[in-house]
A and B are shown apart, each in its own frame.
Chain A
């Protein structure tokens, strides 16, 4: 669960973390207006608000925006207007958005803070050791935002400090960070900055708090020039104030509906639609299909869902996807109930009709009941005993269908 930079910065501010002054704008004219409020003389930074890293290195798909990225220094109010005009209603493509890119519906106009040195700074969870880790790395203007490259080429340039469950940084760790940063930062300023980050990290059940970068000004002040917060989905019940911040517009409609039912839906290329009940199974089914020349348009992971109506609504997402030329249902295991899934198929098929080939494979809890339900339905579908046979059946059925 992610939020936009400007929202993250608002939360930063609530926790006392130093952020540049900034305001959000939805039109170029608005951008110019808010710029005046943000700073009298400028310069300003206009930042496209999409949920992705490396926005600066990204490119807009509409050529009118030129070859510059989604974060632009603007020296005059007219430049603010032009840059906002370039970005708004345009698609920004970064290495995290996919080739299609994401629509920029708002820009954040910020005062430009002159800093002498920049660092990548984040709090992240090392899943394997169940510990909070602080990451610090110097960022030169040359390899700005390219921290991943540093991680694989020069891992020694990134400092990792293991914090366990610590809610405050200790003096030893502080010393370690300061000597690594190798520049005159005032201890008390850094300490308070890091402790505020940790406070936010713990208080709001955050799993990633990333500032790429922080800037250090001549007077020693530390600024969060960027802000990224990822919340723990499973802990949102403890933070009712957070879900209203989520921007659904960046999520595909079907994905959004699926996630509301507790399922996962993803669109890939074109071909068949897959309904499974696990991540690993989704991947292995897609890979196995690829081997016999079957492409996958989308998949739905019902996870351990056992609610009859939700399952039916989920199946509907696949059945009503116009790009799908066949459906493969592959259900395995203990928690999912095959009979409920069979019921869901019938409900949707009776409702909408079944005009494309459907093959189901059930293995696990109540699979015989599920098979009986489907066979009794009289619907034009096939039942397979394993994944391989199921995929072959579907492949032939699709070929005949065309």
Chain B
């Protein structure tokens, strides 16, 4: 088992004809992802990369049985593409697009709350279940099948973590890139729930990101549940290096908790193993064996 995506997941691609999308779709097909259709307005009845093209998500899903979509549509048009996928009742939508306006994401979240669709991203490398399938832009050669679930808000750091833990002999059940943006379709908690009931996952690694209260939410959730798998959270220092705050409101919104030190303490109190570097993550994981 795994979560969200496996070799049987039927996938369609929105915005398939773009250069980046074409490049990554071909690689994903080679990897084993069951991509069955592309959606491109006004290109109905044509084929592309050997896949049938449809004018709408609804039609593509109906004719091919696809239940999941990867969105490569440019930021300006991403909102309508994503809402179209939600309205078509797809169970999973993975948004690779970066640079979607904040207001558009807020409206997307509003639509999402009225549906049962799971949205992952935007600005994410996607989801990969090693040696089965992926939805997104993963380099295909360095994930190993295994028992660790990974949920991440930092794309590049995910690759680094995977490389390092694989050297220890670990592998991954599924890796979910939540995305590097501030407004996300899914949060850590939703994914922890899925990993918690996945028999192939023994432990979960969380990789924190910049801004928002996503990491703090986990503490409230995790300390309240009974059955839980071990969680390791990588929370880095010095996020202030990267943000250029001018207002005060964002600090107020973080409950006055601005330093990563405070974030760590709150997570530790909830029973989560918190580390600040990849090397200490490796040490803690080694103890798990």
Contact = CB atoms under 8 A, between A and B. Distances in A.
Nearest to B108: A130
A6 B172 CA distance: 53
Interface of B: 20, 24, 75-76, 96, 98-107, 109-110, 125, 136-139, 142, 153-160, 163-164, 180, 182-184, 187, 207, 209-214, 217, 236-239, 241-242, 245-253, 255-257, 276-279
Given A52-B246, A282-B242, A235 B156 contact: no
A205 B102 contact: yes
Given A287-B277, A288-B278, A210 B207 contact: no
Contacts, number: 195
Nearest to B96: A335
B251 to A, nearest CB: 5
Most buried by A among B106, B164, B184: B106
Contacts of B107: 165
B136 A334 contact: yes
Interface stretch (A11-19, A121-129, A313-321, A347-355): A121-129
A386 interface: yes
A278 interface: yes
Closest 5 CB pairs of A and B: A280-B154, A278-B156, A152-B256, A280-B157, A281-B156
A225 B81 CA distance: 42
A232 B103 contact: yes
A63 B278 CA distance: 46
B102 A235 contact: yes
B275 to A, nearest CB: 11
A2 B255 CA distance: 24
B250 A124 contact: yes
Nearest to B214: A128
A225 to B, nearest CB: 15
Contacts of A279: 154, 156, 180, 209-210, 242
A127 B183 contact: yes
A380 interface: no
B86 to A, nearest CB: 14
13 contacts: A53-B248, A135-B253, A147-B252, A148-B251, A164-B110, A165-B107, A234-B100, A235-B101, A278-B155, A334-B125, A334-B159, A335-B96, A363-B142
